Amino acid sequence: MRNDYSKKSPEKEVAGKQMHDLMRRLYPICRSITGNGLRETLRILKEIIPLEIREVSTGTSVFDWTIPKEWNVKDAYVKNTGGEKVIDFKKSSLHVLNYSLPVHEKMPLSQLKEHLFTIPEHPDWIPYRTSYFKERWGFCLSQNQFSAMTDGEYEVFIDSTFTDGSLSYGEFYVQGECQDEVLFSTHVCHPSMCNDNLSGVVLCTFLARYLSEVKPYYSYRFLFIPGTIGSITWLSQNESTVGRIKHGLVVACVGDAGKPTYKKSRHGTSIIDRAVLQMLRHSGKEFDVKDFSPYGYDERQYCSPGFDLPVGSLTRTPHGCFPQYHTSADNLEFVLPANLGESFGYYTKVVDILENNRTYISTNQKCEPQLGRRGLYNQLGGRPDAEIAEMALLWVLNFSDGNNSLLDIAERSAMPFEKIHEAALLLEHYGLLREKHL
């Protein structure tokens, strides 16, 4: 046997509940592309998986980019003349424009207005806005809050700091039997929002824990990074070993109730693309498939031409396509445990396909072996899927000429991968099949 990948993945319902509990804990923290909120998040994940927290100093060059100053915010508010806080960062981390300059001034509403962001079409929701590369300050608030603000003077306070610090990211590596790697990458820089992207963070955490408890064939690398600058940083610092990545997925927006959506790698026909499509085709659910485009999450960096890694992205509703996207409505009620559990199931099925996709050679290349004499038909008798299982045996026997992997055979036969895999194991047990190169 090539590996001992036999432990059953956790029940989806249990995983979904655990993921949602972790999400609830991470939700209030004010994260950004650098700073203590990001670090605290990684420290909490470390309680579940022993990930390495890496720090890259401000000013470090990473390809065409430079690690920015570290941003931290302790408090922020806007007070009216009565001393009442009409906007309070302590109530939602979204209230501060992410990467705001510090400010402490009094000003009339007419002047303050230029620094306020709302979503008029959703008057209860607070938008999420950032200003990483333009020096300014601002507040995000609901349209209703804004409408209630009367003319007059306001005290504006943002207690933020920009320092020569570092950019933090988390890395967790599961050593498999071989050095070839599967990459799972997720962005961990967004403040209090659940689908984008605490859902990706918690799914990766529990997938990592699961894989660290089995003995996989592949090695698995999990990256918990700030979006864009994080993947650029990691690629820049690991250029010499990036070639070990044979398959990869960017994990984001996996907690809403929408149908699964797969965005292909730049190649479009890599094993990872085929494995995800195989899983989706036999999931019994509706799904969407999109070709690669140079817009989206960190697949943009992994699939840049100088790396061109086989990395796709498996989400539910894609970014920007659900109204709650980048608002306070992307909250703990929008993302349900059942949806997280279902997404976890999609990911573990993809891992199953990658782990079990082997190439076999039939020991009877001239004509079919006599299956009845070996009791193989009896093995299948009585099963509700006996006919499918028998058909799978014939497909595996015929196409196991050393040139077709089990995934090739599953695609060609239009049968679910697990049926083809099951048939291969049975034939191997009876000595009718041997793994290539073994």
Q: Which residues bind Zn ion (CB under 5 A)?
A: 196
Pairing mode, if any, of strands 70-79 and 52-57?
A: unpaired
Q: Which residue has the tokens 């700030």?
A: 226
The Cα angle at residue 407 between residues 401 and 410, in degrees rounded to 5: 90
Name the closest residue to Zn ion (Cβ).
Answer: 196
Between 199 and 270, CB nearer to Zn ion: 199
Strand extents, DSSP E, 316-367: 359-362
Per-residue tokens: 164: 């020569």
Task: Read off the DSSP letter of residue 74.
Answer: E
Please state, in angstroms and rounded to a whole number, the distance separating the CA atoms of residues 343 and 300: 22
Between 134 and 373, CB nearer to Zn ion: 134
Instruction: Compute the least distance from the CB of residue 275 to Zn ion, in Å.
Output: 26
Please state, in angstroms and rounded to a whole number, the distance separating the CA atoms of residues 304 and 63: 12
Between 92 and 356, CB nearer to Zn ion: 92
Instruction: Compute the least distance from the CB of residue 326 to Zn ion, in Å.
Output: 6
Instruction: Compute the least distance from the CB of residue 252 to Zn ion, in Å.
Output: 8
Instruction: Compute the least distance from the CB of residue 191 to Zn ion, in Å.
Output: 10
Instruction: Compute the least distance from the CB of residue 320 to Zn ion, in Å.
Output: 8
Instruction: Compute the least distance from the CB of residue 369 to Zn ion, in Å.
Output: 55
What is the SS3 string spanning 112-147? HHHHEECCCCCCCCCECCECCCCCCCCEECCHHHHH
Between 20 and 326, CB nearer to Zn ion: 326
Is residue 342 helix, strand or coil?
A: helix
Please state, in angstroms and rounded to a whole number, the distance separating the CA atoms of residues 231 and 297: 10
- Torsion, Cα 197 200 205 206, to 10 degrees, reads 130
Between 244 and 319, CB nearer to Zn ion: 319
Between 252 and 423, CB nearer to Zn ion: 252
